[in-house]
Structure 1
């Protein structure tokens, strides 16, 4: 009886240990999906409100904020511990003009537990591409 209980306990611990990296990957995927949605939300708000809307990654805060013209924050989101904006990124602010177009195109590079992922903001109407 004790042997069966020990085998079940070892089997359960192996399953839990193998599920942890998968959960981290899912958390990162959810973050990038939400980031893409927040960028689209910022663009739609800039067009609807006829004002500049920005998505800002502050260097000293572990997250980003969506705000009107750097003066009125709309909301803030945290970044998972396994994700970080790298110094190789050429933008840290996604800025939409009152017409809904992008102010400065560029690429944000993030280091994750499974390697580097990029978010590219294209010139013009601000099309967003998130790498897998």
Structure 2
């Protein structure tokens, strides 16, 4: 009886140990989907409201903030602990002008548990590409 209980306990712990990295990967994927949606939403809001909208990553905060204009706070999103913005990124903000176009193109580079992921913002209409 004790042998069966030990076998069940070991197999259950193996299942839990194999699920943890998978759940971390799913959490990271959800974050990047949400980031892409927030960037598109910021662009549509800048066009709709006729004001600049800025999505900003701060060094001392694990996440990003969306600001309407220069003084109207929007909302703040936190990043999972397994994701951080690399210092090699040439962008720390995505700035949409009142006409919906991007002010500065560039790449946001993120360190994740499975390697580096990039978010590239293209010049012009602000098309965004998230790497997998």
Q: Same fold (TM over 0.5)?
A: yes
Question: Which runs of structure 1 show a deviation greater than 4 angstroms over 4 or more consecutive aligned residues?
Answer: none
Deviation at 1:2, TM superposition (A): 1.3
TM-score (norm 2): 0.98
Give unmatched runs, 5+ long, in structure 1.
none
Instruction: Note if 1:76 corresponds to 2:84.
Output: no
Give runs of aligned pairs for residues 1-132 of structure 1, distance below 5 A.
Answer: 1-132=1-132
SS in 2 for 1:19: helix
Deviation at 1:73, TM superposition (A): 1.1
Deviation at 1:70, TM superposition (A): 3.1
Q: For 2:90 and 2:108, how far apart are their aligned partners in 1?
A: 6
Q: For 1:39 and 1:14, how far apart are their aligned partners in 2?
A: 39
Q: For 1:70 and 1:12, how far apart are their aligned partners in 2?
A: 53
Q: For 1:70 and 1:98, how far apart are their aligned partners in 2?
A: 12
TM-score (norm 1): 0.98
Q: For 1:63 and 1:5, how far apart are their aligned partners in 2?
A: 44
Q: Report how many residues are paired.
A: 132
SS in 2 for 1:98: coil
Deviation at 1:16, TM superposition (A): 0.2
Give unmatched runs, 5+ long, in structure 2.
none
